[in-house]
Structure 1
Amino acid sequence: MVNLYFQPDAQLTVPDRMVLDILQKDYEDQQKQPTSSTTEASEDSDDSAVKHTRYSSTPEDALEHEQQALETLKDLNNPTSSSFEPTVFVTVDLASITSPTLRKWVIDPYVRWARTIVRVDTDVVMLTHLFLYAFTTIPSALYMYYNFHWWHGPLHAIMQVYYMGTYTLMMHQHIHMRGILKKEYAAIDHAFPYITDPMMGHTWNSYYFHHVKHHHVEGNGPNDLSSTVRYQRDDVWHFLHYLGRFYFFIWFDLPRYFLSKRNPGLAAKACGFELASYLFYYTMFTRVNTPATVFVFLVPLAIMRLGLMIGNWGQHAFVDENQPDSDFRSSITVIDVASNRYCYNDGYHTSHHLNPLRHWRDHPVSFLAQKQKYSDEDALVFYNIDYLMITFSLLAKNYTHLAKCLVPIGDQMKLSMEERAEMLKRKTRAFTEEEIAEKWGKQYAKLK
């Protein structure tokens, strides 16, 4: 992959490596295409036949390679295929565990049993993580309330910060599919978030109400409470305003939004669960154990809400100036370890917006199947950078670094590095109310 500016991370998942390899091959083939002058010269030559070396390929070869990759990815996800491979751990792929003894007596029996518990056969990793939280987070929190030590609090908080991303994206799957376990375990599926959510920085049911019932309905449009379109996405003060509004007023703004949509039931639920969470925190802080509550509940809450908005800013920072309501042009795809290995392919954000019910293991398959559509729609694909670092790079106005992390597709392949940076910069400009009225409709604009 010599034409990528950075060496791809060695810890990329197998599907990510396959996707990146195909995109890189597309770029190499595009670079080898002759210019008009070269074509004219070859037409004057007696030896004008195109010669394909082992370093070049025909369009048919490329198409066959893509089809093989698609079939491989589908087989990895298909429980009836001999190539099926469930995800068991986020840190290592199942195929990489080669110890015969470990596989025979520990891993394979656990996988067989876990597949009878999880709703989707690929999702053994989710049961693995429920056990992880049950045997680390919960005992640590309980012991802090029983016998608090000041050294314990920060260590617990650090552990939770490490867990937060993976947990949140597991719950992302949970709220879209209304569970992650088989129906006979529905009681556990329904109950465990009420225990684990507050310890991971989420108030009860707020993720579901905001993300499923609001964000995916509005799709980063002007009425989306987490919309970026009215903000200059490389401006620190605009970001702080965006962050502050969510941080301090979401408890009020989200119920008010549901009321404006004439849905008082959702407004009551969103407000009720949020205020109930605050009352729970207050009770634990004032009547049970103050320092333990700070580290078990309040520190994760503060960090989680910061992380959610930093991440969402990066996910929707680049909005096309001509078709801002297109899912292809208002969200991005990120091929990196943090998003896809540890966070259930969260990097395929465009794919998720195109179909919010798409299973996380199907995102790379969908991307490859629609690769031409992504190219035609001028979608943005990045690698070796996650959403948090996209946000930080934007706030530092480091468009050169962002351009280096761009994987050019379609017409983007013709751009120089400087032109890529300028193209990205254009897509971070705040929309005026007049532009919002033109692009989305007057009912969305705050015109005087």
Structure 2
Amino acid sequence: MEHIVYDPALTKADRLVLQNLAADIRAASQDSPSSNHFPKAAETSLDDEAVIDALNGFNNPKDARFEPTIITSVDADKISISPLFDTWIVPFYIRIARSLVRVETDVLVVSHLFLYFTTSIPSVLYLFHSFTWLHGVLHLILQFSYVGTYTLMMHQHIHMRGVLAKHMAWLDHTFPYVLDPLMGHTWNSYFYHHVKHHHIEGNGPNDLSSTLRYERDNIFHFLHYVGRFFFLIWFDLPTYFIRNGKFMLACKAAFWELSNYTAIYLLFRYNPRATFFALLLPLLLLRIGLMVGNWGQHAFVDRDDPDSDYRSSITLIDVPSNRHCFNDGYHTSHHLNPLRHWRQHPVAFVKGKQQYASQHALVFHNIDYLMMTVRLMLRDYETLAKCMVPLGDHISLTLEERAALLKRNTRPFTEEEIRAKYPKLAKN
């Protein structure tokens, strides 16, 4: 219990969830409420019913507690600049933005699209018009700061087939073709790989981004994993669709991927330096980032039931994943229901908490997917064990036993084990 940390930047939802889990641990451990080892914040924790009610209130536009997300960095009720701004401008903006988005909580979609179109687009146009090395570096830094939030906004977009209201369909369908390449995405590839492939295979043996065959704390295995995706995904994804009798998907995936490469090549011939900073470097960096993230999301795979969404993915309660990246930390919840709206993940987690516990699902806090991968490469299981928020039977484990459990779940599966665990999916 002494290892639970309440980051001041946690979202309201995450703080409630973490307090709720801490209360469960205290109850199971029969700790005294006044224990010096118990986090003070948990003394105000709520029971499941109260937490669920509060989380539903945040998400319900008809509830007095409703609170849309305006920007990622701060909660709506913490925005305070001046009386005029707070009283008139912010409410007016929220009212307009709520009418433009598909789900009324998602005011931040309008905020971020406005940000990207007023900064990234002018910057890249001027970069091609009058290139300087300083501008190139600053533009790359700007895009790098945007890419996490943008990618997870697009993650919501590809699952919901859009994020804007129906009357904004023209913009909803076109903005990815403008912004995706600037953030390092190739046209439509995220949709074909993630929705039409990864969520079909679910980190199973036929998933091109599966971690099953890798030793997840081995740097050489990690480099092989990243390198395979980095250099061969343009070929692997279409051939995967062909093997599975989905010829049209193969053609579409290949067309959009190769079209994007062609566009980059032509622009490189026109202005190589601007293209290098505006399109090529973002593409290379994002591809690495996507695999680093996926490695962390699926690093811990249960030896007994690797095909379970509860046991092959994890949940993170942290600031980078959930405040800045559309609750991406609730990865198990996302695999359980890929169409679940991002604001619904915390409440779905609390509602299903007993099932998570009975399935021995892993929950962590105070760490993001990037640092999860870094700690694995360092084989720092002590830190990972401290970040673990135990559920159910895991509560009784010592720190050393938690570390041993985590290490066990990073071991690679042999082909014989895969055939035994996935008799219908694994290839002979």
Quote how far apart the aligned CAs of 1:445 are: 3.9
> How many residues were matched structurally?
421
AA of the residue aligned to 2:140: A
1:387 match: 369
- State whether residues 336 and 385 of structure 1, in contact with CA within 8 Å, keep that contact through their aligned partners in structure 2: yes
Aligned CA distance change for structure 1 residues 271 and 384 (closer, same or farther; 3 Å): same
Partners of 1:442 and 1:435 in 2: CA distance: 13
Partners of 2:213 and 2:261 in 1: CA distance: 30
| Structure 2: runs of 5 or more not aligned | none
- State whether residues 234 and 395 of structure 1, in contact with CA within 8 Å, keep that contact through their aligned partners in structure 2: yes
Partners of 1:353 and 1:22 in 2: CA distance: 23
Quote how far apart the aligned CAs of 1:195 are: 0.4
Indicate which of 407, 413, 429 corresponds to 2:411.
429
Partners of 2:211 and 2:11 in 1: CA distance: 30
2:381 match: 399
Quote how far apart the aligned CAs of 1:103 are: 1.9
Partners of 2:60 and 2:141 in 1: CA distance: 37
3-state SS of the aligned residue for 1:247?
A: helix
3-state SS of the aligned residue for 1:151?
A: helix
- State whether residues 311 and 388 of structure 1, in contact with CA within 8 Å, keep that contact through their aligned partners in structure 2: yes
Indicate which of 187, 193, 196 corresponds to 2:170.
187
- State how 1:207-222 maps to structure 2 within 5 Å: 207-222=190-205
- State how 1:215-230 maps to structure 2 within 5 Å: 215-230=198-213
Aligned CA distance change for structure 1 residues 16 and 361 (closer, same or farther; 3 Å): same
- State whether residues 281 and 293 of structure 1, in contact with CA within 8 Å, keep that contact through their aligned partners in structure 2: yes
- State whether residues 382 and 399 of structure 2, in contact with CA within 8 Å, keep that contact through their aligned partners in structure 1: yes
Aligned CA distance change for structure 1 residues 62 and 150 (closer, same or farther; 3 Å): closer
1:91 match: 73
- State whether residues 91 and 341 of structure 1, in contact with CA within 8 Å, keep that contact through their aligned partners in structure 2: yes
- State whether residues 197 and 203 of structure 1, in contact with CA within 8 Å, keep that contact through their aligned partners in structure 2: yes
Quote how far apart the aligned CAs of 1:8 are: 2.1
Partners of 2:416 and 2:318 in 1: CA distance: 37
2:132 match: 149
Partners of 1:441 and 1:200 in 2: CA distance: 39
**1:420 equivalenced with 2:418 (yes/no):** no
Quote how far apart the aligned CAs of 1:183 are: 1.0
Residue-by-residue CA offset, 1:374-395 (whole Å, 9 max, x unaligned): 1111100000100011011111
- State how 1:25-36 maps to structure 2 within 5 Å: 25-32=23-30
**1:355 equivalenced with 2:353 (yes/no):** no
- State how 1:16-165 maps to structure 2 within 5 Å: 16-32=14-30, 65-98=47-80, 99-165=82-148
Partners of 1:188 and 1:135 in 2: CA distance: 15
3-state SS of the aligned residue for 2:106?
A: helix
Aligned CA distance change for structure 1 residues 261 and 100 (closer, same or farther; 3 Å): same
Quote how far apart the aligned CAs of 1:9 are: 1.2
Partners of 1:341 and 1:347 in 2: CA distance: 9
Partners of 1:218 and 1:375 in 2: CA distance: 24
Aligned CA distance change for structure 1 residues 443 and 82 (closer, same or farther; 3 Å): closer
- State whether residues 436 and 442 of structure 1, in contact with CA within 8 Å, keep that contact through their aligned partners in structure 2: no
1:48 match: none
- State whether residues 16 and 46 of structure 2, in contact with CA within 8 Å, keep that contact through their aligned partners in structure 1: no
3-state SS of the aligned residue for 2:367?
A: coil
- State whether residues 433 and 445 of structure 1, in contact with CA within 8 Å, keep that contact through their aligned partners in structure 2: no
**1:373 equivalenced with 2:371 (yes/no):** no
Aligned CA distance change for structure 1 residues 103 and 382 (closer, same or farther; 3 Å): same
3-state SS of the aligned residue for 1:381?
A: strand
| Structure 1: runs of 5 or more not aligned | 34-51
Residue-by-residue CA offset, 1:334-374 (whole Å, 9 max, x unaligned): 01000000000000000000000000000000000001111
**1:233 equivalenced with 2:216 (yes/no):** yes
Quote how far apart the aligned CAs of 1:323 are: 0.5
Aligned CA distance change for structure 1 residues 4 and 123 (closer, same or farther; 3 Å): farther
**1:257 equivalenced with 2:240 (yes/no):** yes
Quote how far apart the aligned CAs of 1:63 are: 11
Partners of 1:219 and 1:264 in 2: CA distance: 21
Aligned CA distance change for structure 1 residues 54 and 157 (closer, same or farther; 3 Å): closer
Structure 1: 4+ residue segments shifted above 3 A? 52-56, 61-64
Residue-by-residue CA offset, 1:130-160 (whole Å, 9 max, x unaligned): 0000011110000000100110011110111
**1:177 equivalenced with 2:177 (yes/no):** no
Quote how far apart the aligned CAs of 1:442 are: 5.9
AA of the residue aligned to 2:25: Y
**1:290 equivalenced with 2:298 (yes/no):** no
Residue-by-residue CA offset, 1:135-191 (whole Å, 9 max, x unaligned): 111100000001001100111101111100000000000000000111111111110
Partners of 1:159 and 1:81 in 2: CA distance: 37
Q: Which has the larger radius of gyration?
A: 1
- State whether residues 5 and 405 of structure 1, in contact with CA within 8 Å, keep that contact through their aligned partners in structure 2: yes
Quote how far apart the aligned CAs of 1:196 are: 0.2
- State whether residues 70 and 368 of structure 1, in contact with CA within 8 Å, keep that contact through their aligned partners in structure 2: yes
Residue-by-residue CA offset, 1:84-135 (whole Å, 9 max, x unaligned): 1100010111111244321222111000001110110000001100000001
Partners of 1:351 and 1:274 in 2: CA distance: 29
For the aligned residues, what is the CA RMSD?
A: 1.7
Question: Percent same amino acid among aligned pairs?
Answer: 56
Partners of 1:149 and 1:370 in 2: CA distance: 53
1:410 match: 392
